[in-house]
Amino acid sequence: MIEFPDNYVGKELIGLMINVATLQKAARKISANNSIQRIMDRVVRTHDPLLAKLLKNLSNFDKLRSLFKPIIPSITSMCLKSDDIHIQAAMLGILGNISLKDFSYFSVLKQYTIIQFLSRHLNIHDEMVLDSVLATNTLCSDENCADYMAKYGLIDVLCALCMEAKYDEELLTQILFTIYNFCMYESSREFVMRQSSLFDFSSLWFC
């Protein structure tokens, strides 16, 4: 598959691999021998959206997520470089899955303009809004990222989105969980406490 001669992997082959990758035992075998890095390298080279989807499926398993650590910069870069919404969604989905305690997401945040990208897609009418919320949640697991994003105004964006998403239970839950994680750090917590709209929303929701 990695050495497939055409630019895009054949649909029958990649379709089979995508489906098989939903099974943990098969996913482990697919990920062996540095395959995560090699698949990502091919995605960067060919911009194959189905190959990106395969990576997304592999990232769903806790035991494989550490294997994605070396490619986090490439994942972030592909969000910005690709014009294919399917690749962007897959990359955001991977980023949303791989919250690693021993990785400095702040270094990636500063190197790439991912914060502007997330801000644009944190929109109720954007089809990548949920993936963007999940990716934001991953980034704010790093205290430096949380502080940086709070100062950029992402908490304001999330709170506004919260009001718009009140009838979408899954999206609303993830937004509130992300805001909650911003509250884990004193510096970003202050920005949450300033959000009067959030408290107004809470009173309406729980009444």
Which residue bears the tokens 């702040």?
Answer: 106
Residue 147: Cβ within 10 Å count = 19
In this predicted structure, what is the pLDDT of residue 179? 92
What 8-state DSSP symbol labels residue 185? S
Q: At 24, which amino acid appears?
A: Q
The total number of structural domains in the chain stands at: 2
Q: What is the pLDDT of residues 167-185, one digit of tens each?
A: 898 999 999 999 999 999 9
Burial of residue 132 (number of CB atoms within 10 Å: 0-12, 13-18, 19+): buried
**pLDDT of the chain, 207 residues: tens digit per residue:** 777 888 889 999 999 999 999 999 999 999 999 999 999 999 999 999 999 999 999 999 999 999 999 999 999 999 999 999 999 999 999 999 998 988 999 999 989 989 999 999 999 999 999 999 999 999 999 999 999 999 999 998 998 898 888 889 899 999 999 999 999 999 899 888 887 666 555 544 544
Same domain for 24 and 122?
no
Which residue bears the tokens 């939903």?
Answer: 22
Q: Last residue of a domain, which of 80, 103, 126?
A: 103
In this predicted structure, what is the pLDDT of residue 204? 45
Contact predicate 175/195, CB 8 Å: no
Q: Write a three-state SS string for 30-81.
A: HCCCCHHHHHHHHHHHHCCHHHHHHHHHHCCCHHHHHHHHHHHHHHHHHHHH
The CA distances from residue 27 to 10, 86, 89, 115, in Å, are 19, 21, 20, 31
Same domain for 115 and 149?
yes
In this predicted structure, what is the pLDDT of residue 207? 46
CA angle 47, 90, 88 (to 5 degrees): 65
Same domain for 147 and 86?
no
In this predicted structure, what is the pLDDT of residue 15? 94
Same domain for 78 and 117?
no
Q: Last residue of a domain, which of 84, 103, 122?
A: 103
Same domain for 67 and 141?
no
Same domain for 112 and 98?
no
Q: What is the pLDDT of residues 78-120, one digit of tens each?
A: 999 999 999 999 999 999 999 898 899 999 998 998 999 999 9
